[in-house]
Amino acid sequence: MPAPLLEAASAKKEGLVPSTDSDLREDNWQVLQQPDRPAGGMDSRFQLLLSALDSGWRIEEPVYLRPRWDEHGPWVYHFILRRSLLEAPRMISVPASPLVERFVRNEGLQISR
């Protein structure tokens, strides 16, 4: 194998270079795992949601509000996110809190219970 092809194959194998368009889209999502926003006591999953929105992802309605374990336990918002029609949607589950509830209300998001 010629040296440039060998180097490219090695970099691809080590995960340094995305191998396909779908790998590149996956890399875009992985960037969100280290959000730019300072935490400031904010739930890390809510912080991830805000960073995704800053990066061009959109919330698909409705937002699902479901009990975490059973009807008497804590509640969780499930946000379905999409960046483009060609990319697979993603879901971020965020525990209900006054901050998240205010966000949902301010954004005028439909909720499915």
The CA distance from 29 to 49, in Å, is 11
Residue 99 CA to chain centroid, in angstroms?
18
Q: Which residue has better confidence, 90 or 72?
A: 90
Q: Which residue has better confidence, 37 or 68?
A: 68
Q: Which single residue is written with the structure tokens 């439909």?
A: 110
Q: Find the mean pLDDT for residues 22-50.
A: 67
Q: Which secondary-structure segment (H or E) carries 45? A: helix 44-54
Band of residue 72 on the pLDDT scale cut at 50, 70, 90: confident
Domain range annotation of the chain = 32-112
